[in-house]
């Protein structure tokens, strides 16, 4: 009944990323269109349903839970969910509870997150320039995000900055962002822009800055050493000898990291995506709601979904077109 989740390629599924809302207080140009239509609230899993869903996954061997959005901290009452998940940390079934955030709400919630057992947060931040931040997010408020980072560190949360590599936008900021992170003892991970969703007039290929080129920039300025460590996600890490800091690279386009994939993604409506770069998904909301007094149908649906997890994704820019583009927005699946 509680045997671990193993996919058809002998990969143990121990990492669940959960989108708790498709809403966000920013409109980043690579993630959302400017005038987004959000899901009706009745379609979203309630916080109680999210608790039951995540608890079932944990009983089936999930050890790491990452909460995402949209922006997870704009969901009303979300701290009650984090507090509920802390019971799984206390009993040792869950090894890590964490989240990815844009940082806008951390000034309010950092201390409460730490109290609920969160020890690490990933903060999405692509530029330190206030005008460029307003351009990339469409809504701005960089000082609010920086205060959130201050609050997170003050609360005892380990902060990692996630920066999307964008050609012609933050190329020149690579040294400044790197040194800023080093000065604050924060790790930094660069992410290749992914072809997901209709983002209006934005040009995917125009945005794309290969992380091979990002690494080459580092090698011109620093002594770069490859690290063997893994964080449970897709990043590959190097260390900069001069600063001592860790730099991560998430490269779904120039390096296929699928061979070690241990994760699946649950949307705020209860769809389980076995792969970020494939459209196949399983409806877990129906067995959850149709059988309120039994976990067996939900467990069966989860196991059946994992049995259909593909070997890998189809993202590809090699032919100068956005092959493998997903029709859904990143905010729907969770970052």
Task: Provide the annotated binding site.
Answer: 17, 24, 28, 30-31, 66, 70, 100, 124, 160, 194, 258, 261, 263-265, 275
The two most distant CA atoms of the chain are separated, in Å, by 60
Both tokens of 42, joined, read 């009745």
Residues annotated as binding site for [4Fe-4S] cluster? 24, 28, 31, 258, 261, 275
Rounded CA gap, 328 and 151, in Å?
A: 33
Rounded CA gap, 309 and 46, in Å?
A: 26
Give yes or no for a contact between 108 and 155, defined as CB atoms under 8 angstroms apart.
no
Give yes or no for a contact between 305 and 273, defined as CB atoms under 8 angstroms apart.
no
Both tokens of 207, joined, read 């945005």
DSSP string, 13-48: --EEEEE--S--S---TTT--SS--PPPGGGSPPHH
Rounded CA gap, 174 and 215, in Å?
A: 10
Give yes or no for a contact between 208 and 192, defined as CB atoms under 8 angstroms apart.
yes
Give yes or no for a contact between 248 and 190, defined as CB atoms under 8 angstroms apart.
yes
Residues annotated as binding site for S-adenosyl-L-methionine? 30, 70, 124, 194
Residues annotated as binding site for GTP? 17, 66, 100, 160, 263-265
Both tokens of 243, joined, read 């600063």
């Amino acid at each position: 009944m509680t045997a671990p989740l193993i996919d058809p390629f002998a990969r143990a599924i121990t990492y669940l990323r959960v989108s708790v809302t498709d809403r966000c207080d920013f409109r980043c140009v690579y993630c959302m269109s400017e005038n987004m239509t959000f899901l009706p609230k009745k379609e979203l899993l309630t916080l109680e349903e999210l608790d039951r869903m995540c608890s079932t996954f944990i009983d089936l061997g999930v050890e790491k839970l990452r909460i995402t959005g949209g922006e997870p901290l704009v969901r009303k009452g979300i701290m009650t969910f984090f507090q509920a998940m802390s019971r799984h940390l206390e009993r040792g079934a869950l090894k890590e509870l964490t989240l990815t955030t844009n940082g806008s709400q951390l000034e309010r919630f950092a201390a409460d997150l730490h109290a609920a057992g969160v020890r690490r947060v990933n903060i999405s931040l692509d530029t330190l320039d206030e005008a460029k931040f307003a351009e990339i997010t469409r809504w701005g408020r960089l000082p609010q995000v920086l205060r959130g980072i201050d609050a997170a560190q003050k609360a005892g949360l380990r902060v990692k900055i996630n920066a999307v590599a964008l050609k012609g936008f933050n190329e020149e900021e690579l040294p400044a962002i790197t040194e800023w992170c080093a000065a604050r003892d924060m790790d930094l991970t660069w992410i290749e822009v992914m072809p997901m969703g209709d983002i209006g007039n934005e040009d995917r290929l125009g945005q794309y800055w290969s992380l091979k080129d990002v690494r080459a920039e580092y090698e011109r300025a620093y002594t770069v050493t490859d690290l063997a460590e893994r964080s449970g996600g897709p990043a590959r890490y190097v260390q900069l000898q001069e600063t001592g800091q860790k730099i991560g690279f998430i490269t779904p386009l120039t390096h296929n990291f699928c061979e070690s994939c241990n994760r699946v993604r649950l949307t705020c409506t209860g769809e389980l995506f076995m792969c970020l770069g494939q459209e196949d998904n399983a409806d877990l909301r129906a067995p959850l709601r149709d059988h309120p007094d039994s976990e067996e149908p939900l467990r069966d649906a989860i196991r059946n979904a994992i049995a259909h997890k593909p070997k890998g994704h189809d993202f590809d820019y090699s032919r100068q077109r956005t092959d493998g583009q997903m029709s859904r927005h990143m905010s729907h699946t969770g970052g």
